[in-house]
């Protein structure tokens, strides 16, 4: 059980009630709460550009309330209880919910894409466009393998988190969730700063990708599922108008680095396979035409910021609460 440190005088009953509700918030709860508030403020500031602004704000208020409620009601339940599991694991759904929310915000707020700039930077660094240069080494077997690897992205975090949960490494699990959630949110800020759609739309023909970069059996199916996850309706003539602006930084790269750091930090049994898959994951982002190389470089910076600042955020919040 958590209790706040002398933050709320006894005679201030309203604040004491608030303290009881927030005393079980973990650091990743607070980070999620703050990021939802940030998005709500953006929606309010740019309400003339974001058509669904009031719906998004209302949803954020509801989700924020649920975070506080679940923390208050279910944090002290045994770890094998379904409601406690939901309370501990809800960030899996949060990162997806926020990802879908910013779809309605990034392009309406910014109003342009920066792919030309990213292409120019890549060309300046290498003298070629890396995805075009790598195409000469493509092979259906390699493409199939890397497309499958690319699609395992979210499952890798579940595997690592499950090992910690099964081994009852709860404190480690909570910090792992923090750096993952925090890393995702930082990457989303990058999408606002530099909106872009990626080389599969700009340097290559999205409509002929299955023919130009073919796989074997599962590649086309996986691509279609990923396209739908990025809000691209099947068969549209202008998919670039629908896709998420989620290129800079490469979330696959940044969060894969966070994952590799987490499994190394806690010496998880799955760490060796995670290292191998992680390297392949990062390589696949360029090979499969999802990202420019500058996106990967930016991801390293975002990863470094995540790992460097997360401990301070964690200590700050834990400084507000103590174990009783």
* The pLDDT of residue 300: 98
Distance, CA of 118 to CA of 292 (rounded, Å): 7
Quote the pLDDT of residue 3: 47
Return all residues near 164 (Cβ < 8 A) that are at least 6 apart.
Answer: 170, 172, 173, 176, 266, 268
Which DSSP letter does residue 231 get?
T
The 10s digit of each residue's pLDDT in 150-161 is 999 999 999 999
The two three-digit tokens of residue 95, written as one number = 């990162």
What pLDDT sits at residue 18?
A: 64
pLDDT at 176: 98
Instruction: Look at residue 76 in the predicted model and tell me its pLDDT.
Output: 86
C-alpha dist (Å) from residue 280 to 104, 142, 204, 283, 288:
31, 11, 22, 5, 11
pTM score: 0.92
Q: In which residue ranges of the chain is pLDDT below 50?
A: 1-11, 323-324
pLDDT of residue 17: 58
Nearest Cα residue to 55 out of 96, 105, 99, 93: 105
- The domain limits of the chain are 2-323
Cβ proximity of 298 and 11 under 8 Å: no
């Amino acid at each position: 059980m958590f209790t706040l440190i002398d933050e709320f005088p006894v005679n201030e009953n309203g604040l004491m009630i608030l303290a009881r509700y927030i005393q079980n918030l973990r650091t990743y709860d607070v980070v999620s709460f703050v990021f939802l508030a940030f998005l709500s403020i953006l929606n309010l500031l740019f309400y003339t550009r974001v058509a669904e602004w009031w719906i998004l704000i209302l949803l954020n208020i509801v989700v924020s309330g649920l975070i506080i409620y679940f923390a208050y009601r279910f944090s002290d339940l045994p770890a094998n209880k379904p409601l406690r599991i939901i309370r501990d694991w809800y960030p899996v759904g949060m990162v997806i919910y926020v990802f879908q929310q910013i779809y309605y915000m990034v392009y309406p707020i910014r109003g342009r894409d920066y792919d030309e700039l990213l292409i120019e930077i890549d060309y300046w660094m290498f003298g070629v466009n890396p995805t075009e240069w790598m195409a000469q080494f493509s092979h259906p077997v390699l493409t199939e393998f890397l497309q499958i690897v690319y699609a395992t992205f979210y499952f890798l975090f579940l595997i690592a988190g499950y090992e910690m949960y099964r081994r009852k490494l709860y404190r480690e699990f909570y910090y792992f969730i923090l750096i993952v959630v925090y890393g995702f949110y930082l990457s989303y800020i990058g999408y606002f700063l530099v909106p872009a759609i990626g080389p599969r739309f700009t340097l290559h023909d999205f409509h002929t990708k299955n023919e130009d970069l073919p796989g074997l059996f599962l590649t086309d199916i996986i691509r279609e599922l990923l396209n739908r996850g990025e809000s691209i309706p099947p068969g549209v003539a202008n998919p670039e108008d629908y896709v998420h602006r989620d290129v800079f930084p490469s979330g696959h790269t940044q969060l894969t680095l966070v994952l590799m750091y987490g499994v190394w930090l806690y010496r998880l049994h799955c760490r060796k396979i995670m290292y191998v898959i992680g390297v392949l994951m990062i390589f696949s982002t360029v090979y499969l035409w999802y990202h420019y190389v500058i996106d990967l470089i930016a991801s390293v910076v975002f990863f470094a910021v995540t790992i460097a600042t997360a401990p301070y955020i964690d200590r700050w919040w834990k400084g507000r609460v103590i174990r009783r």
